Structure 1
Amino acid sequence: MTETAAPRRIRRSELATPASNERMFAKAAASQADLVFLDLEDAVAPANREEARGKAVRAFNDYDWGTTVRALRMNGIDTRWAYGDVIEVLSGARENLDVIIVPKVTSARDVWWVDTLLTQVEGTLGITKPVRLEVLIEDVAGVANAEEIATSSSRLDALIFGAGDLSVSQHARVDTNFEPRDEYPGDFWHYARMKVLTAARIGGLLAIDAPYPDFRNAAGYERAARHAAALGFDGKWAIHPSQIEIANDVFSPSEDEIRRAKRNLEAYRDAQARGLGATSVDGQLVDAAHVKLAEAILAQVRL
């Protein structure tokens, strides 16, 4: 598969919410995040993970989520909780569960395991709306196998770059915001980000950037989001509701981008009508490549 266009869905912001904390559910459901995931993994103490499944089911069933995508981050497939997370939450939430996020994916085999289990549970329950998948690339093996992972399942919507566990896997010397402790020339995570982004585009998937733990630093979050957006990422995780609006703004086309796209498209079509393969707008060349970019921006606006 060599698709380069992202699917027709939108994930500018993905809000993390602990599945064990019922006080946060109403606010999460009412947020403006494109996707909210209830987290059964790192945000929940091991002793509480099985109990948290029931809380997640009630949240999916009892709250009005509007157009927000309802997701669950399960535990890794190498843990004792993985199969129970899928079976219990899907059995309880049924069509109210849209997406499962699979953490610490290192190979296509990991995705196949979840895909196969979902197929079995959906068939048993008579669920006709397949659960979609997003996977976290947060291990050196996952980075190395990113392209294989991105093309491993028709359920996949997105690859997510995770800097936290990758720091451990890589033995990186970073602070609690996953930034290098010592001076480093350029973006410390550029290679991993580009591997995830490139693999996502090969698979026709969305690419989601890593969380920014320093949630009180709005300027830092925006700076990181704009950096990821410039590379081509489609959205970013939010670990606090205050980050949602920033992500939604950064990963949406600006008014200037929209105006420029419309103007370039109109000028190119006019040139084509006159038998020309290219034209200029404000002294800059506009050819077929610029048309594709303009069409992509306008398609995102329609979404």
Structure 2
Amino acid sequence: MMARRRVGPEDARSWLLVNGARPELFDPAHGSRADQVVLDIEDAVDPARKDEARAGVAQWLSDGERSAWVRINDHSTPYWEDDVATLAGVPGLLGVVLAKTEAAEHVTETYDRLGGATPVLALVESALGIEEAVSTARARGTFRLAFGSGDYRRDTGTSADDLAMAYPRSRLVVASRIGELPGPIDGPTVTHSLPVLREQSAVTVSLGLTGKLCLDPDQAPVLNEIISPAPSDVAWAQDFLADFDARGQVVRDGSDLPRLARARKITRLAETFGVQPA
């Protein structure tokens, strides 16, 4: 299996969720093409197996060559305190994904319990969570926002239609910008159809989200491709920057500065993701 490209969590496109009660899946996930791996000890694990899964994840992460994020149980549950107590100081812990975040203090208390240095990715999964997204984005310890689309639909009765789901996604995009965070991470596509995944990932990009949760390692290469700049965009960015330098970096009209910012962003991401111009 080809080793996954090491893309940092600020820019990570594909976030692979792995059942925390199935340790035989951890090594294959770590070697997959996903930008980041999330070991899930929340919804993926039956309550009767929480202790077992938590201990197994901590043990696996304690190996010096292994690292991953962990999705922990939400602040309102009796499992949250055990999760943060067990994971605090574990060497391979890159950060936690906090389930069902609905308030800034949920993030801050988690961050503080973990020692004040472990990033917290706030998973927003309810109407209240969406409403409080700006304060969550501004909270101390918040690293990035993510959309728990399935639980949001269950909470609100919203369909999976792109139009119906545009509002909460856009709220997370705006909140991330206000909080000066990297772009938010979209919810997963629950299908084995790669054409459907491509289509839904294109909607993710169009709304301004810059990552996506996934449930299968085979989805990661598709997400990475769709969420990355297209080779044609990279060629345009390089040509624009070359022309801008050739004319002495003189701004000609009001469209130059927005295009300059876009070209520089595309170039940076292309270098990060290894995308070559067409």
Question: Is TM > 0.5 for Structure 1 vs Structure 2?
Answer: yes
Question: Deviation per CA, 1:3-29, whole angstroms, max 9, x where unpaired?
Answer: xxxx98321100000110012111111
**Residues 67-125 of structure 1, C-alpha deviation per residue, up to 9 Å, x if partnerless?**
xx61000001100000111111234xx22101100011111121122122122xx7xxx
**Residues in 2 aligned to 1:53 and 1:212: alpha-carbon distance in whole angstroms:** 26
User: Aligned residue for 2:221?
Assistant: 245
Once residues 59 and 70 of structure 1 are traced to their aligned partners in structure 2, the CA distance between those partners, rounded to angstroms, is 10
Matched residue pairs, number? 264
**Residue 83 of structure 2 corresponds to residue 85 of structure 1:** yes
Greater Rg by CA = 1
| Paired residues of 1:99 and 1:133 also in contact (CA < 8 A) | yes
Quote the offset at 1:272 in angstroms. 3.7
Whether the aligned pair in 2 keeps the contact of 1:271 and 1:277 (CA below 8 Å) is no
- Contact 1:264 1:286 survives alignment (8 Å): no
Q: Distance in 1 between matches of 2:205 and 2:65?
A: 30
> Which stretches of structure 1, 4 residues or more, deviate above 6 A after TM superposition?
none
2:258 equivalent in structure 1: 289
2:129 equivalent to 1:160: no
Match of 2:96 in 1: 100
The match for 2:4 is none
1:134 corresponds to which residue?
121
| Structure-to-structure mapping, 1:1-303, within 5 angstroms | 9-62=10-63, 64-65=65-66, 70-91=68-89, 94-119=90-115, 130-153=117-140, 155-172=141-158, 174=159, 179-180=160-161, 187-206=163-182, 207-214=184-191, 216-272=192-248, 276-278=250-252, 287-303=256-272
Instruction: Supply the distance in 2 between the matched residues of 1:169 and 1:295 (Cα, whole angstroms).
Output: 40
1:44 alignment partner, SS class: coil
Note the C-alpha offset of 1:239: 0.5
Q: Is the 8 A contact 1:160 1:208 kept in 2?
A: yes
AA aligned opposite 1:149 = T
Could you tell me the TM-score, scaled by structure 2's length?
0.89
The answer (yes or no) to whether the contact 2:61–2:91 under 8 Å persists in 1 is: no
2:137 and 2:233 map into 1 onto residues whose CA distance is 29
- Distance in 2 (CA, whole Å) between partners of 1:232 and 1:302 is 20
Q: Which residue of 1 aligns with 2:3?
A: none
Over aligned residues, Cα RMSD in angstroms? Answer: 1.9
Higher RCO, Cα 8 Å, sep 6+: 1
1:282 matched residue in structure 2:
none
